[in-house]
């Protein structure tokens, strides 16, 4: 099937991802800029793939360069623009005047210029050798979600009362865990496909679905439950208590 061919393609590309050492002198600022990208991404309703690619570009760039605080603002927004150009339709890419009109821009004391953005985008492209085809967890999750819930699954040991409702909750929790994975550079220790699989596994745990990691998901992802535990535990540790309440499904 075409879906499996696409998944196989990004699995191969994942093997060639650049290494991440977590050695940026500004690593303590990383969470702030990842949140900034997420906020602006949500403001323009960009797709998760664009948001995740933008943060990944920022992580890789920070890992290689000593960047000043002022420069990091420009780099973060340039990462978001590049990622949205790569992942979104042209009419969805934020425009310069739209970015400058955001309230957060004045608080950052930042005014974007066309020349400044082009210069930073060129620097980013040269850094990544003009290759932005870098898979993230958001690129894998849609494939895993396609079989994340099955009518044979049990909820609290009983048959599910509403399959469609369970699928909706599964998608929401998986999206939540995906966002959690953006907030801490520790998740860069795991390859993107494993993070995506752990997001699904953590969601099944929170939803009290059993078996927690059925054979069909192990076959599709090529990950055993044991290999997912370290990442899934980190995701679950970040969950707010209210989010742990599983719905009546």
Q: Where are the domains of the chain?
A: 19-127, 137-244
Rounded-to-integer distance, Cα 207 and Cα 201, Å: 10
CA–CA separation, 54 and 134 (whole Å): 10
**pLDDT score of 197:** 98
Question: CA 6 from chain center: how many Å?
Answer: 18
Q: What is the pLDDT of residues 42-94, one digit of tens each?
A: 999 999 999 999 999 999 999 999 988 888 989 999 999 999 999 999 999 98
- The order of strands in the sheet holding 158-159 is 158-159, 154-155, 209-210
How confident is the chain (249 residues) per 10-residue block, as mean pLDDT? 85 93 91 93 94 97 90 92 94 85 69 85 93 95 93 81 87 95 94 98 93 94 97 88 52
The DSSP 8-state label assigned to residue 12 in this structure reads: H
Angle at 11 (CA atoms; ends 143, 153), nearest 5 degrees: 35
Domains 19-127 and 137-244 share a fold: yes
Residue 236 class from Cβ within 10 Å (0-12 exposed, 13-18 middle, 19+ buried)?
middle
Determine the Cα–Cα distance for residues 153 and 150; give it in Å rounded to an integer: 5
Architecture of domain 19-127 in this structure: Orthogonal Bundle (1.10)
Topology of the domain covering 137-244: Cyclin A; domain 1 (1.10.472)
């Amino acid at each position: 099937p075409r879906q499996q061919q696409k998944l196989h393609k990004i699995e191969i590309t994942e093997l060639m991802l650049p290494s991440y050492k977590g050695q940026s002198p500004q690593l303590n600022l990383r969470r702030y800029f990842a949140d900034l990208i997420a906020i602006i991404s949500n403001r323009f309703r960009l797709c998760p793939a664009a948001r995740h690619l933008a943060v990944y570009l920022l992580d890789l760039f920070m890992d290689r360069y000593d960047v000043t605080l002022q420069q990091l603002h420009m780099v973060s927004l340039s990462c978001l623009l590049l990622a949205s150009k790569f992942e979104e339709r042209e009419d969805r890419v934020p425009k310069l005047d739209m970015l400058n009109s955001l309230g957060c821009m004045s608080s950052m004391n930042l005014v974007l210029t066309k020349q400044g953005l082009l210069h930073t985008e060129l620097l980013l492209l040269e850094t990544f050798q003009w290759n932005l085809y870098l898979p993230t967890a958001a690129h894998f999750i849609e494939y895993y979600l396609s079989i994340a819930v099955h009518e044979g699954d049990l909820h609290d040991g009983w048959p599910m009362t509403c399959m469609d409702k369970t699928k909706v909750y599964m998608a929401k929790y998986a999206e939540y865990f995906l966002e959690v994975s953006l907030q801490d550079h520790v998740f860069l220790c795991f390859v993107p496909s494993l993070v995506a699989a752990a997001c699904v596994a953590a969601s099944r745990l929170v939803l009290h679905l059993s078996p927690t990691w059925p054979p069909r998901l192990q076959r599709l992802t090529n990950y055993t439950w044991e290999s997912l535990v370290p990442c899934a535990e980190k995701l679950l540790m970040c969950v707010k208590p209210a989010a742990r309440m599983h719905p009546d499904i």
